Amino acid sequence: MNEKAILDGKAVANRIKDKLKTRVEILKESGVMPSLATILVGDDPSSETYVRMKGNACERVGIISTKIHLPEDTTTEQLVQAITDLNEDDSIHGILLQHPVPPQIDERLAFETIAIEKDVDGVTSAGYGQTALGFGTYPSCTPAAIMKIMEDYNIKAEGKHAVVIGRSPILGKPVSALLLNENATVTTCHSRTTNLASHVRQADIVVAAVGRPEFIKGEWIKEGAVVLDAGYNKGNVGDVEYEEAAEKASYITPVPGGVGPVTIAMLLNHTVDAAEKTLN
């Protein structure tokens, strides 16, 4: 496999962020300070790291990052109230609730409280429904990243057979819908799919989103297929056997440095989109 076959997510993300800096400057000249509020409940170290990364990414392009850190024993009602307050704050353009929340909280109810015009992370059922129907403003950020990588590398979905392994409401399901909207023929598989290998072997486009290290074997990949690995597991390992799959794939995303950087860039992009809408 030559270097051209690697889908460089860092490069895609940098191109997005370079454009965002200009858009943010224009917004500020118009009196709008684009702002993303991130809510963290509890003290999960991984979540704290993710929130810090997102905050740093915001600051690098000029987006104001507002962090709300609630204690571990926060109730559903308290979290819902915090989100409601942000919905009503005109200075906040996007709201992100860091997953997971402590077990006593009804996470779905909390997600649904986010106003759809501020749902820049694509977690509400209304946002998912609009994405599936083809007019969603802010699809979930990882599916949006996958589609952006394909767009940047001029990889067409139309007429291709895409196999998505994973069915989560913020990754597998919405990316299946986005690919279908681009006229791909989509098969959605998951960890309990019978004869998974036979499905993957038919795929022109493979989206790995199952959350299990090296679950998709390199030998399953069809010669010339495009592999987009959205998995990120302990030890910097994706959901696909990278070295083996890379021998067959025409394009493949590395882990890390593939889908991940673009996911954060799309979150920033959605936040700036939301801020720009306030000018209309």
User: Is 42 flagged in the annotation as binding?
Assistant: no
The two structure tokens encoding residue 135: 């007019």
Is position 55 annotated in a ligand binding site?
A: no
Q: Is 54 among the catalytic positions?
A: yes
Active site residue 67: no
- Among 17, 118, 119, 121, the one annotated catalytic: 121
In angstroms, rounded to a whole number, what is the distance separating the alpha carbons of residues 100 and 106? Answer: 11
Give the mean model confidence (pLDDT) for residues 66-76: 97
Catalytic residue among 8, 17, 54, 148: 54
Domains and CATH numbers, the chain: 31-117 (3.40.50.10860), 141-259 (3.40.50.720)
173-198 pLDDT, tens digit per residue, is: 999 999 999 999 999 999 899 999 99
Express each pLDDT in 245-255 by its tens digit.
999 999 999 99
- pLDDT tens digits, residue range 98-139? 999 999 999 999 999 999 999 999 999 999 999 999 999 999
The answer to whether 61 and 17 have CB atoms below 8 angstroms apart is: yes
Q: Is 167 annotated as a binding residue?
A: yes
What ranges in the chain are assigned the alpha helix state H? Answer: 9-29, 45-61, 76-87, 107-113, 125-133, 141-152, 172-181, 196-200, 242-246, 259-277
Say whether pLDDT at 2 is over 70.
Answer: no
Q: CA-CA distance, 31 to 26, in Å (whole number)?
A: 9
